[in-house]
Structure 1
Amino acid sequence: MNAYIFPGQGAQFSGMGLDLYENSPFAQELFENANDILGFHITDIMFEGSAEDLKETKVTQPAIFLHSVILAKTLGERFKPDMVAGHSLGEFSALVAAGALTFEDGLKLVSQRAQAMQKACELQPSTMAAVLGLDDDVVEKICAMTDGVVVAANYNCPGQLVISGEVEAVNKACEALKEEGARRALVLPVGGAFHSPLMEPAREELAAAIENTTFNKPNCPIYQNVTASAITDENEIKANLISQLTTPVRWTQSVQQMIADGAIHFTEVGPGKVLQGLVKKIHREAETASATFETNA
């Protein structure tokens, strides 16, 4: 079975999507439509902006979404997923690609999500850290024992977990994790504590937008971050999307479940190859590839 996977924040690069824009009139039309919806020329920043320009949350999230979704749409008949999944932000790309959301609605939600997350970040100093070389349960235990807000946020692959929370709590947890034998416990250059209780203001804001958006039954199951299981019911999809901001991304568990359900080949749709690397670490025998578009689309 073929699984299509969609990357999240951090996969952006300067020049992303330019090849699509220049070689596909259909892609060009979608990019221009996106500029109108967003009210600014995101294409200028994607194609010509610096890495610093692309790091701004209100740009990063729509940019990765656009690259992924427009690439999926240019695949035409070749895009035949048996299942889809996306890492954090990538879940929105996956839902649009699978027909659960329209392109326009997906982009509006991603833009609102980015702005709501940015506002939540500004309310309280917070951060995230990557922890390498420890079992998940050890990391969870140390987070629970640390004063302040710090939680497991991204289960990326065995031995790689990202924690998230208040700056002081994350720093304390990193020290304790190193003492416990972590190969690395490194604070990440991010704007805030994504996928933690500190995102509650953003969750409330996004919840209202999601409730007011029409969702359709997807063309294939989506393995959502919150449950790491196959979902096709529109109401469940909505509820999980709302919960996603304050709960962990269960990527390891999602990929394991997709494989248990028959996935053999994983195609990453969007910028970078981060998810392919994670899939290989979760299941060495899995086949992985990057999606490539047809110039006549």
Structure 2
Amino acid sequence: MRSLLHRTILLTSPSHSLIRRTSLSAMATTASSSLLLPSISLNNLSSSKNASFGFAAKNLSRSRISMSVSAGSQSTTVHDSLFADYKPTSAFLFPGQGAQAVGMGKESQSVGAAGELYKKANDILGYDLLDICVNGPKEKLDSTVISQPAIYVTSLAAVELLRVREGGEQIINSVDVTCGLSLGEYTALAFAGAFSFEDGLKLVKLRGEAMQAAADAAKSAMVSIIGLDSEKVQQLCDAANQEVDEADKVQIANYLCPGNYAVSGGLKGIEVVEAKAKSFKARMTVRLAVAGAFHTSFMEPAVSRLEAALAATEIRSPRIPVISNVDAQPHADPDTIKKILARQMQMLTTGDISSPMGDNSKDSLIQRT
């Protein structure tokens, strides 16, 4: 649990203390870039010092969308720009798929509120989630249908573990903005009160199942490209796409931070990217431990299932801003949040939601499977 807590809380301390808080203006130089590397043990995360984090609060453009939401016989208007003028000081960043490691969650057994989350999860999932988290096997924990619920529950259990530690309640109460890497956006929304723990887990369970089914329908994969800027990674993708059929095309799926991008696509295309990366001066490539090409059109079959589940789920305005993976903006309107969560599965940006962030907006996104 301690190792995932380092991952769950936005900033980790080089001195191996539990947590260090900072202003959001410092985020670009203090968060861990190993968020992108699922092959790195979570126990090593606290030693990362000089990595960068692709999110700059000062560059966030503000959404001005407003929508009419029906509430029984009354109609109320929720302005999506509710958080337009927020001034954040402390943030939680929740991890996404790839952060899982056998042994996570072990400490939750000594904290009642944390252990209770796993008990609730067992009733929803139909299996002993904590046992898999603590004991594995790794291959089972790494599967999409299990790793997504496991990370969601363990992340929120980590918050409860922090809460009982000295100063923990004060730290949690000081958080005034939150975000998460793809799957982690659901955790962030639960932390911010946009939906209940149980409803969030049901969504995550269905999301994992739908993404696994979409991945099984076609041979696809994701690879992390380390040490190139986004322009060079795009050139690498273009070069690979010249050598494969349409079904194996690749694209940048995740703009995580400068020098750290994930490419998704057909398996053959990914293999070509890996073979060509060194010639483009990439420092390294890391095949991601995910089922397929997440955040691309490969996930289109999963979108309708998630949309139906989101439509049936009660989502409220978050109590604090939650930064979206799709457009790097905080949204208050529940209907907008539902649309963004569905689109997040298959693409980074959409044409329907305004995002006048300029040409460099992609490098501010914090998406992660």
Q: TM-score, normalised by structure 2?
A: 0.65
The one-letter amino acid of 2:194's match is: A
Decide which structure has the larger Cα Rg and report it: 2
Which residue does 1:32 correspond to in 2? Answer: 119
Deviation at 1:248, TM superposition (A): 3.4
3-state SS of paired residue (1:232): coil
Deviation at 1:186, TM superposition (A): 4.1
Which residue does 1:11 correspond to in 2? Answer: 99
The one-letter amino acid of 1:62's match is: P
Cα 1:185/1:27, change in 2 over 3 Å:
closer
Misfit runs of 4+, over 6 Å: none
The correspondence for 1:47, drawn from 124, 134, 149, is 134
Which residue does 2:319 correspond to in 1? Answer: 219
The correspondence for 2:328, drawn from 228, 232, 238, is 228
Tell me if the contact between 2:326 and 2:365 (Cα under 8 Å) persists in the aligned partners: no
Which residue does 2:145 correspond to in 1? Answer: 58
Tell me if the contact between 1:45 and 1:54 (Cα under 8 Å) persists in the aligned partners: yes
Q: TM-score, normalised by structure 1?
A: 0.80
Cα offsets for 1:166-199 (capped at 9, x unmatched): 0112223334443332222443343211111101
Tell me if the contact between 1:127 and 1:190 (Cα under 8 Å) persists in the aligned partners: yes
For the pair 1:116 / 2:210, whether they are aligned, the reply is: yes
Structure 2: 5+ residue stretches without partners: 1-88, 164-168, 350-360
Deviation at 1:75, TM superposition (A): 4.4
The correspondence for 1:69, drawn from 156, 173, 183, is 156
Tell me if the contact between 1:58 and 1:118 (Cα under 8 Å) persists in the aligned partners: yes
Tell me if the contact between 2:223 and 2:287 (Cα under 8 Å) persists in the aligned partners: yes
For the pair 1:253 / 2:347, whether they are aligned, the reply is: no
Deviation at 1:122, TM superposition (A): 0.6
For the pair 1:188 / 2:299, whether they are aligned, the reply is: no
Deviation at 1:19, TM superposition (A): 0.8
Which residue does 2:266 correspond to in 1? Answer: 166
3-state SS of paired residue (1:164): strand
The one-letter amino acid of 2:364's match is: Q
In terms of mean alpha carbon deviation, does 146-155 or 8-17 score higher? 146-155
3-state SS of paired residue (1:231): coil
Structure 1: 5+ residue stretches without partners: 256-273, 275-297
CA distance in 2, matches of 1:175, 1:15: 34
In terms of mean alpha carbon deviation, does 177-186 or 166-175 score higher? 177-186
3-state SS of paired residue (2:262): strand
Tell me if the contact between 2:303 and 2:342 (Cα under 8 Å) persists in the aligned partners: yes
The correspondence for 2:299, drawn from 192, 199, 203, is 199
Q: Which has the higher contact order (CA 8 A, sep 6+)?
A: 1
In terms of mean alpha carbon deviation, does 229-238 or 56-65 score higher? 229-238
Tell me if the contact between 1:229 and 1:254 (Cα under 8 Å) persists in the aligned partners: no
Cα 1:189/1:254, change in 2 over 3 Å:
closer
Cα 1:170/1:117, change in 2 over 3 Å:
same
Aligned length: 255
3-state SS of paired residue (2:268): helix
3-state SS of paired residue (1:246): coil
Which residue does 1:150 correspond to in 2? Answer: 250
Tell me if the contact between 2:193 and 2:319 (Cα under 8 Å) persists in the aligned partners: yes
Cα 1:49/1:232, change in 2 over 3 Å:
same
CA distance in 1, matches of 2:186, 2:344: 11
Q: Percent identity?
A: 39
The one-letter amino acid of 1:48's match is: N
3-state SS of paired residue (1:230): coil
Deviation at 1:15, TM superposition (A): 2.0
CA distance in 2, matches of 1:64, 1:14: 11
Tell me if the contact between 2:225 and 2:284 (Cα under 8 Å) persists in the aligned partners: yes
3-state SS of paired residue (1:214): coil
Cα offsets for 1:115-163 (capped at 9, x unmatched): 0011011100001111122110222244346153311111121111110
CA distance in 2, matches of 1:15, 1:138: 38
CA distance in 1, matches of 2:115, 2:273: 46
The correspondence for 1:178, drawn from 255, 262, 278, is 278
